[in-house]
Amino acid sequence: MFMSTNQRFGMPKDKYQLTSITDEHSGDFMSPTSDLTLTGTVMAGSGVNKSRAGRKPKDTLPSNSRDLKNLQAQRAFRERKQAYIKSLEEEVVELRARLNIPQSYVKEPREISHSPEPVVSTAGASMSQEQQQLQEQQQRAILMDQSMLIESLNSRILALEAENSMMRLSSVAVDFKSSFPVNGVGFATSGE
């Protein structure tokens, strides 16, 4: 005799049987499993209010003091982070107002290339002077770094030359020709 899975495990036949469900308010066809809970009943108002994805907030406070302190520390951290972000956003607005540059002149970050051209394309004469001064300072810093590198390399060369000359003077001179006589072909002779 053929038995269904529900009958084999002693489950009521109609409670877990999946059939198509239509929404009472709209009449739209819904998935057979979308509104079922683990017990097989349809959730009330399920098509209207979808729950948000992610971890749900806890309704009760933690039982031990350690978890409570961790929860308070997390909350304080989130608040400090939000306050810091807000202060940074305010500072950006303030700096843009201080520069008094229209937004149409400022390039978007994705438009900025890694070329030496300035970020602000057509600003006032004072901005171009400030940019020139900044570029000159950067070039001076690069030249200073390069000159310091050259000086350190020159000092290292002098130290190596001095070490090389000391090694030449202290080495033992060996006359290999007199120690190992060579015949005309270039091979050492054994009997001479």
| Annotated domain spans of the chain | 123-150
Q: What is the pLDDT of residues 140-165, one digit of tens each?
A: 888 888 888 888 888 889 888 888 88
**pTM for this model (two decimals):** 0.27
CA distance 15 to 103: 64
Looking at residue 55, its pLDDT comes to 82
Average pLDDT score, the chain: 71
The pair of structure tokens assigned to 81 is: 């982070």
**Mean predicted confidence (pLDDT) in 3-27:** 51
The pair of structure tokens assigned to 56 is: 């749900």
Distances (CA, A) of 126 to 67, 100, 129, 131, 152: 57, 12, 5, 9, 39
Instruction: For the chain, give the secondary structure using H, E and C.
Output: CCCCHHHHCCCCCCCCCCCCEECCCCCCEECCCCCECCCCCECCCCCCCCCCCCCCCCCCCCCCHHHHHHHHHHHHHHHHHHHHHHHHHHHHHHHHHHHCCCCCCECCHHHCCCCCCCCECCCCHHHHHHHHHHHHHHHHHHHHHHHHHHHHHHHHHHHHHHHHHHHHHHCCCCCHHHHCCECCCCCECCCC
Q: What is the pLDDT of residues 16-68, one digit of tens each?
A: 444 444 444 444 444 555 544 455 555 555 555 678 888 887 777 778 999 98
The pair of structure tokens assigned to 60 is: 């009760």
Residues in the chain: 192
